[in-house]
Amino acid sequence: MDPDPPAESSKRRTTRTLTKKRKSDPADAPSAPAPKRARGPKKGRLAGLLNIPLDILFEILGNLHPLDLLRLSRTSKDFRQLLMQKSSRHIWRSSLNTVDGMPPCPPNMNEPQWISLAFDAVCQVCHKIARKVDWGLFIRICGKCAKSSLQHHFLGIGMGLVSGSTSVDFSKLIPSRPDHHKPFNIVYFPPAFESVKKEYNAIVGADEKEKFIEERKELVKTLAEHTILCEEWSENVADNRSAELADRKEERYTAIVARLTDLGWGPEIASIMPIDSLRLHKSVKLPNTLTDRTWNTIKPEMIKYMEEMKKKRLDREHVVIVNTRKALATKVLRTFKRSQLPWSDFMPNGPDFCDDFPRIKEIIVQPSSVTVNEQTFEALLPDFPGMIATWREGLRERVANVYKTAHDDETLSASDLETRLNLATTVFKCVACSQGSSLFATMMAMGLMSPKRCQPLFYPNILAHECWSRNEDFSLVMMFLSNRVQRDHIWNCSGLRLDSELSDVVAGIVKACGMNPKTTTVEEMDAADARFACHACAERGTAADPDGKMGSPANPDAGTSSASKDKGKGKGKASAEEELEPATVHAYNWRNAVRHHGEKHLHFPTEWYKLSDADAVAARSLEAQEIIKAKEVDKVNAANDSEDSEAAADDEENEPMPPVEVTVDTAATLDAHPCPLPSQLPAFEFCCAHCIDTPSATSPLTYECMMKHLRGRHDLLTPPVLNEDYYRALAAPEIYGGDAFPAPELKTLIPPKPDSIVAPPTRLSNPYLDHYLYDSDEGSYDSYEGYDDYGDYW
């Protein structure tokens, strides 16, 4: 037997055996993962640079960017000790030479200070980020500190120092500049001022102080010249940086476009609208180089973006198709509307027909793949009357809702509403017509423009008011300035209001006729066709005419009223005539009476007197004469235009278009219901049948202007036919024709003025307004049409 091993040896062997047993664990036992070694910071990686020969190290450091060299000097004490020695100055200068166009170091700074000012984006006050350098003061300061730290001084006030008997102005010894926001103020950096002041006080001897002052003045002068160089260099650096970033962005954009094109998105990229430009995408406009890894990161986002652009393109194409279909539908509607002339009720326009008729809209908005042509809409022509009737009922309901809202009564039945809407005392107004646009409202407030005419609106002609279906400023110029695509829009009476003040006025006029305001309708007032005189505007005490007759017209050429012939025929009339007094009045029909009251007496009420039947007949005769005169003026203007066109044709050696001879009945109707014929009215009442629902459609014109329009616009060489070439606007005269019925002057007898009437002032009693806005140029406007009331406020 072998001898037993020593105890120590046995212990070691046992330990080794146990170790082996741990390694020979069963295979099914889970093996513990080897612990990862913690990766600590690598220390001293730059320490090896100190072992490089100094000449090689200096060569390397001299080729660094100045900011990198500055940061390197701050990494350790060894580098700071090495680079901050005066013997290392050549390293800093070599580094500065690597920057193109870099101005030289200012005389009051060393190279590290100069590099810190020029490149280190740290505020010298709060030590936060400051991107720009204030070259006028040679400091880098952020905007917040510039407001709080920089101080102002004016001509050195507050910056002087009295030393003995000498006063020193330190404003000339430190850099300063004008304030950017207040150039008349000079700003300076207080620490610079305190430093110079402290240095000055430390000097002993007057000569030394004088020398110091001269040196500082020379230094400030040198720095001022140096500021110009620094600002130019800074601008060049900024421009170069911007160009560099732009090149990088363009390179990235080109790379992304190439990648998307490879994926099949090339045509979609070409169709992107400028507002959705690919260059503006947040992942495209970066100045970073596009790598494969970066592309894989942004690829899903870019594909999603392109899918959105494809959807927008399809939507734009569908909008074009929808607009084409709307044009076809409007063309069919236009043909139908011309076939229905003269209209007895309000007709829809193009936007109404395309957007407010469910069956038509359903056809228009169908997918682009569905074929829709003119025949598609013509197939629905038999259903047009029913669809239009349903649409009109909806409009009437909206107007009825305005009435119910104003009276706060939701319990009215449909029949009661229809009855109340047809009453003469139910007067509406249009907010746009009464107030105008914001620009016009401002001009009126300044007194630079007269208010719009009062336009009382009555049912049912109110449905045809142009503001409900036409933009407020519907001229082509205003459409361009307001960036509007179309002039007409879907019917919308959001500007409709019930005019309670004018409703009370109409009630008074109806009572003057001896009728009941609660039951009298608009048609009944038109049928009565009475004439009224305004008590407040009547010129009382007018002397009798030479023949002693009181019923004569104010115009000596006009006929006399039969009221003068009745005077004195019977003794029974004497007592009644004793209560009347002579006056010169304007004879208004009931519509113009309401308009006159709204324009002249809304804030200073008046009362109305119904003229006698004889005076009404005389007034109608004068109206007929004024209508004929107005038509003659229109004919003269048309003849002048024709002469101008002939002269232009002679200049161009072209044959002028022959004028169209139109026969017009000018006979005045003076029977029981003497309303002038449509062809006699000089108001803006006629519309062109050829321009229905087209961009060239105009507001209602006078008869003569309409004839001129047909000749010039449509080259119509045959006599125009009513309801084929032109038609009378449905809403005329109460809406479009502000002067449809003249109000001639008439001498008659009326009752004395009621005591409740107060005459309105003629103008504001403001000397400034009187001089600058009203009467200063009154004489210059007397001969211009439209300036008759210039200088009058009311």
Q: What is the DSSP letter of 41?
A: -
339-361 burial, b for 16+ CB within 10 Å, e for fewer? eebeeeebbbbbbbbbbbbeebb
| C-alpha to C-alpha distance for 678 and 756, rounded to whole angstroms | 39
- Strands, sheet with 151-153, edge to edge from the N-terminal-most edge strand: 151-153, 186-188, 176-178
| Each residue's pLDDT tens digit, 400-457 | 888 888 887 777 788 888 888 999 999 998 887 765 544 455 554 554 455 556 778 8
| C-alpha to C-alpha distance for 574 and 10, rounded to whole angstroms | 163
Of the CA atoms within 13 Å of residue 291, those in its CB half-sphere come to 3
Q: Are strands 186-188 and 581-586 parallel, antiparallel or unpaired?
A: unpaired
Question: Alpha carbon 592 to chain centroid distance?
Answer: 36
Percentages of the chain per state (helix, strand, coil), in multiples of 5: 50, 10, 40
Q: What is the pLDDT of residue 435?
A: 59
Helix 292-339 × helix 206-262 angle, to 10°:
70
pLDDT band (50, 70, 90) for residue 124: very high
Tokens 């069963």 belong to which residue?
26
| C-alpha to C-alpha distance for 227 and 232, rounded to whole angstroms | 9
Q: What is the pLDDT of residue 637?
A: 61
Q: What is the pLDDT of residue 774?
A: 41
One-letter amino acid for residue 204 of the chain: V
One-letter amino acid for residue 341 of the chain: L
Count of beta carbons in the 10 Å neighbourhood of residue 785: 6
| C-alpha to C-alpha distance for 34 and 455, rounded to whole angstroms | 96
One-letter amino acid for residue 339 of the chain: S
Long-range pairs, 69-74, Cβ under 8 A, ≥24? 69/95, 69/115, 70/112, 70/115, 70/116, 70/119, 70/120, 73/112
Query: Among 493-502, 613-622, 755-764, where is mean pLDDT lowest?
Result: 755-764
Q: What is the pLDDT of residue 305?
A: 96
| Each residue's pLDDT tens digit, 348-379 | 888 889 988 999 999 999 999 999 999 999 99
Query: Among 289-303, 309-323, 603-617, 768-782, where is mean pLDDT lowest?
Result: 768-782
What three-state secondary structure class fits 597? helix
Q: What is the pLDDT of residue 781?
A: 36
Query: Could you give the angle at the alpha carbon of 771 between the alpha carbons of 765 and 776, nearest 5°?
Result: 125
Average pLDDT over the chain, rounded to an integer: 76
Which residues lie below 8 Å from residue 667, measured CB to CB, with a gap of 6+?
none
Copy the structure tokens of residue 794: 């009311």
Q: What is the DSSP letter of 34?
A: P
| C-alpha to C-alpha distance for 354 and 108, rounded to whole angstroms | 79
What three-state secondary structure class fits 585? strand
190-213 burial, b for 16+ CB within 10 Å, e for fewer? eebbeebbeebeeeeeeeebeebb
Contact criterion met (CB below 8 Å) for 780 and 583: no
Over 60: is that where the pLDDT of 7 sits? no
What three-state secondary structure class fits 532? strand
Over 50: is that where the pLDDT of 164 sits? no
Tokens 């005045």 belong to which residue?
668
- 497: enclosing H helix or E strand: strand 496-498
For residue 273, what are the CA distances in angstroms to 279, 298, 556, 670?
11, 22, 72, 67
Q: What is the pLDDT of residue 782?
A: 40
Helix 89-97 × helix 66-73 angle, to 10°:
150
In sign, the C-alpha dihedral spanning 122, 128, 129, 134 is: negative
Residues listed for the chain: 794
Over 50: is that where the pLDDT of 146 sits? yes
pLDDT band (50, 70, 90) for residue 624: confident
| C-alpha to C-alpha distance for 761 and 768, rounded to whole angstroms | 17
Which residues lie below 8 Å from residue 535, measured CB to CB, with a gap of 6+?
606, 607, 608, 609, 750, 753, 754, 757
| Each residue's pLDDT tens digit, 546-582 | 444 444 554 444 333 333 334 334 333 334 445 788 8
Tell which residue, 196, 210, 212, has the closest CA to residue 164: 210
Q: What is the DSSP letter of 571?
A: G
Helix 89-97 × helix 111-119 angle, to 10°:
40
Q: What is the pLDDT of residue 443?
A: 52
Q: What is the 3-state secondary structure (H, E, C) of 635-668?
A: HHHHHHHHHHHHHHHHHCCCCCCCCCCCCCCCCC
- 96: enclosing H helix or E strand: helix 89-97
What DSSP assignment string belongs to 140-208?
E--HHHHHHH-EEESTTTT-EEEETTEEEEGGGTS-EEE-SS-TTSEEE-HHHHHHHHHHHHT--SHHH
What three-state secondary structure class fits 621? helix
For residue 178, what are the CA distances in angstroms to 145, 158, 173, 220, 273?
17, 17, 16, 15, 46
pLDDT band (50, 70, 90) for residue 626: confident
Which residues lie below 8 Å from residue 214, measured CB to CB, with a gap of 6+?
none
Contact criterion met (CB below 8 Å) for 451 and 792: no
Ranked by mean pLDDT, the top range of 40-54, 191-205, 560-574 is 191-205
Contact criterion met (CB below 8 Å) for 623 and 676: yes
Q: Which residue has the higher pLDDT, 319 or 634?
A: 319
Q: What is the pLDDT of residue 73?
A: 93
Q: Which residue has the higher pLDDT, 729 or 274?
A: 274
Q: What is the pLDDT of residue 163?
A: 43
Q: Which residue has the higher pLDDT, 583 or 764?
A: 583
One-letter amino acid for residue 340 of the chain: Q
Ranked by mean pLDDT, the top range of 157-161, 675-679, 689-693 is 689-693
Count of beta carbons in the 10 Å neighbourhood of residue 126: 14
Of the CA atoms within 13 Å of residue 44, those in its CB half-sphere come to 3
Predicted TM-score (pTM) above 0.95: no
In sign, the C-alpha dihedral spanning 315, 321, 324, 326 is: negative
Q: What is the pLDDT of residue 125?
A: 93
Tokens 């000089």 belong to which residue?
682
Whole-angstrom distance between the N-terminal and C-terminal Cα of the chain?
144
| C-alpha to C-alpha distance for 354 and 693, rounded to whole angstroms | 12
pLDDT band (50, 70, 90) for residue 486: low
| Each residue's pLDDT tens digit, 331-342 | 999 999 999 888
Contact criterion met (CB below 8 Å) for 395 and 349: no
The pLDDT > 70 percentage for the chain reads 69
Over 50: is that where the pLDDT of 665 sits? no
Helix 190-201 × helix 206-262 angle, to 10°:
150
Contact criterion met (CB below 8 Å) for 665 and 648: no
Tell which residue, 121, 131, 139, has the closest CA to residue 176: 139
Q: What is the 3-state secondary structure (H, E, C) of 664-693?
A: CCCCCCCCCCCCCCHHHCCCCCEEECCCCC
Copy the structure tokens of residue 116: 């810190």
| C-alpha to C-alpha distance for 185 and 178, rounded to whole angstroms | 6
What three-state secondary structure class fits 494? coil
What three-state secondary structure class fits 748? strand
Over 90: is that where the pLDDT of 467 sits? no
Tokens 């910056």 belong to which residue?
159
Q: Which residue has the higher pLDDT, 508 or 33?
A: 508
Q: What is the pLDDT of residue 454?
A: 72
Over 50: is that where the pLDDT of 481 sits? no
Ranked by mean pLDDT, the top range of 143-157, 382-396, 716-730 is 382-396
Q: What is the pLDDT of residue 470?
A: 75
Q: What is the pLDDT of residue 453?
A: 62
Over 80: is that where the pLDDT of 602 sits? no
| Each residue's pLDDT tens digit, 63-106 | 999 999 999 999 888 889 989 999 999 999 999 999 999 999 99
